[in-house]
Amino acid sequence: MIAQAAIFLLDTLFGLFTLSVLLRFYLQLVGAPFHNPISQAIVAFTNFLVRPTRRIIPSLGGLDMSTLLLAFIAQLILQAATLWLQGYPLMLATGTAYAALVGLAALGLVKLSIYIFLYAVIIQAILSWVNPYTPVAPLLDSLTRPLMRPLRGKFTMGSGIDLTPLVVFLIAQLLLMLVVAPIEMQLQRLL
């Protein structure tokens, strides 16, 4: 019971940190406005580790590799700690198990990335009906634009209703079910 509580706490803390660092990475990648309160909160929450890491890990082709590395390390620690708390003998594990652990951490980033964009699209669609001029709208627009732009106009009903968010939602769910879940199952079998 204590192990389950510890796993819950680790999952919450490392999950929130990974989410924050990944959001920071994607917001920088798409050139989102950083004068938004949400952007500033993400930067303030992650600066304590991102700044020192940037001194060691340089950017690569305009990509902030330090934030991506921090997200990966957080997922790796979370995966290893969860296995350890579940009684898995990490110290006796083989190289295959460690490779699976690294794969699960990378897959965790992919899965969280899909969820970030999925929820951003859903929130943006809801806000477009309720309050399209909310201060978070430009942030969501810049985050979802790379996904939505290629599909816009192709899934519009005659009455002007845009079904693009629904199509993105379906594609994301299919990716999670048909690509991510089978890979995750294969990696877990290696442990």
- CA 102 – CA 31 distance, rounded (Å): 29
Query: Total structural domains in the chain?
Result: 1
Q: Is the pLDDT score of 92 beyond 90?
A: no
pLDDT digits (tens, 9 = 90+) for 97-113: 899 999 999 999 999 99
Q: How many CB atoms lie within 10 A of CB 121?
A: 22
**What local confidence, expressed as pLDDT, does residue 158 receive?**
65
Structure token pair of residue 51: 């700044």
- In the 8-state DSSP scheme, what is residue 42? H
Question: What's the rounded Cα separation, in Å, for the pair 10 and 77?
Answer: 9
Q: In Å, what is the CA distance from 149 to each residue of 58, 103, 145, 165, 171?
A: 30, 31, 5, 11, 15
pLDDT, tens digit (0-9, with 9 covering 90-100), for 40-62: 999 999 999 999 999 999 888 88
Predicted local distance difference test score (pLDDT) of residue 157: 64
Helix (H) or strand (E) holding 27: helix 2-30
pTM: 0.89
Collapsed DSSP state (helix, strand, coil) of residue 166: helix
Tell the burial category of 154 from Cβ atoms under 10 Å away from its Cβ (0-12, 13-18, 19+): exposed
Q: What pairs with residue 63 in β-bridges? A: 60
pLDDT > 90? residue 128? no
Q: Give me the domain span that covers residue 7.
A: 2-189
CA distance 60 to 66: 10
